[in-house]
Structure 1
């Protein structure tokens, strides 16, 4: 629990992976706030379902927990959430807090003691069930309406394009054809159709490099389509200056209004290559 404007607030999620502190409609209306209280904030956020959400605005409010108070700048969104608010890395850093999802606890230092805030397992389970139900409904709607799944759609190739640094001395490699099960082939066709519609891929009739698709089942029961780039990775020179401590670098972006997705993609790509090694 937390106190926002001296009101006791439940179902507050502390998320180390969130770069923003978010307020949802239940809390926004419960505090009696109005649109006039919001300042402009036009940077979209990525929701739990992977869709972009346009915020209504932002505002700064005092948040107290365990006798320690900090000013939090909330981003107000109107999308569904089983939580009333999300306290992300900026709040965690301001509090000097150490959260533990394993123990469902948050620990931080106050002026005279070490405060320990305990979460409620039952409330956590209820929120997870509600979030899973909403995700199921969203997936049903997604099957009926086409969406753009690509992470950075509509980027002009004149501005930026991704190319692999392939060693020219390595001969091209065409993998032998692997037969796919019917359900795998259907998942591949659907994924390829989405990527072509988003402009993320294009058709090649005489490719020099050819890699098979690999279909794996996700925890949700759906299929994830991957590509076997084993041969291609071997032909790419390794980067001797790979990005270290990616988690600290991501945390360092906290408090800044924007982060370039180009930096994020570079770090992810380097980590992916290291994982192949």
Structure 2
């Protein structure tokens, strides 16, 4: 089957142009606008605000360990990966494939990015000049036109105000970190009791199934962790040993005593007492 482009394909395209190919596809039974077709990317990406707006169960996301690396070397850690059906074309001339999307929580002008993996599954050929994507179907060849008006709106909106340009589908969706001042953590930590007098902190925005798995794992492996100083006794120097690189022939010098606020002095005294009882430290014999 021949997939080609002619002058007819360039009709109704505003020329001259350097616009990206932005299309409309159906994803997980939702019609999504502003889908960037990127032949130069190896990752299919779905942005977090759109994922939340579609209403897909978060438990379907699988953790993904490797970060995404951009052209300038910047790294972005995806929330995870999820497989979703993507349908290109219109009924009955359609093609549906399963695409593995990396879910990313970053502000972006588009709702998703379709790259090599998805294009290969569709057996699609693109032309940025004609702003079209063509792919084979049982009845012949189907084409998807690029939305030139939408992409030019993205050019105007996103570069000037990237943090305010939320992806649009039916209504706007706020990112999890939107509106937080710089310097604050991305999420708060919550105390979780895994045993008597044993408390750990976990992220408040962890998916429920991941949170439950993490807590279950911690409870099943309590003996692995050192909960107090006493739990660390008996470690062989062959495993870990800290030494000060000082000259033994030089007389030690006692530092000047530092003053702290009363509440800090109480906290310091408690910690020092713990270390003394555990025999981690001993009182100096220097006068």
Q: TM-score range by the shorter chain?
A: 0.3 to 0.5
More helix, by proportion = 1
Question: Between Structure 1 and Structure 2, whose CA radius of gyration is higher?
Answer: 2
TM-score, normalising length from structure 2? Answer: 0.45
More strand, by proportion = 2
Higher relative contact order (CA 8 A, sep 6+): 2
